[in-house]
Amino acid sequence: MNKYSSLSENEFKTPCLLFDSECPLCVRFKESLERVELESDLFFYPLQNDNIYKEFPFVNKQEASQHIHLILDCKTQSVLKGGEAIAHLSLLNPVVKKFSWLVSSEMGKKATSVFYGSINRYRETLRKQCPKCRVKPSY
């Protein structure tokens, strides 16, 4: 099994990224991450899998559907959301890590936050235009 592969429906490991398996943008982001060299294993789980919320009861399903969630550790309930998750993921790449001082600076944090906000607004626009997404219940 590829170290970035999803596991069975009831087996969850961390660190893991929750993604919307019904959103083409989210799926492309996940697939891109699977191809990138990272310094640690990363697992991917669709937020539509209700067993996630049993395994990680500290994760709110509605919030997970609105913002990217990177669960670092189940025991400490360590979760990064939104721009913080993106910044953390970028620093797992050995090439990007060389520029960690830039990503970790206040200006870098602001840029990551703005980038994530723009992408998330675009994702919401796509969902509103998608006939399948409009009839789905809100989490």
pLDDT category at 35 given cuts 50, 70, 90 is confident
| Nearest alpha carbon to residue 16 among 24, 28, 37, 59 | 59
> Quick one: angle between helices 106-129 and 82-91, nearest 10?
120
Is 70 a member of any domain?
A: yes
Phi, psi torsion values for 37, nearest 5 degrees? -75, 120
**Measured between alpha carbons, how far is 90 from 100 in angstroms, rounded to an integer?**
9
Q: Is the pLDDT of residue 31 over 70?
A: yes
Domain count, the chain: 1
Determine the pLDDT at residue 39.
Answer: 80
Is 107 a member of any domain?
A: yes
Is 26 a member of any domain?
A: yes
Determine the pLDDT at residue 104.
Answer: 67
Is 138 a member of any domain?
A: no
Is 95 a member of any domain?
A: yes
Q: Give pTM, 2 decimals.
A: 0.68
Q: Is the pLDDT of residue 2 over 50?
A: no
Question: Which residue has 């170290």 as its token pair?
Answer: 3
Residues in the chain: 139
Is 7 a member of any domain?
A: no
* Average pLDDT over all residues of the chain: 78
Is 139 a member of any domain?
A: no
Q: Residues 48-99: pLDDT tens digits?
A: 999 999 999 999 999 998 888 999 988 888 999 988 888 888 777 765 555 5
Is 56 a member of any domain?
A: yes
Domain that holds residue 41: 16-133
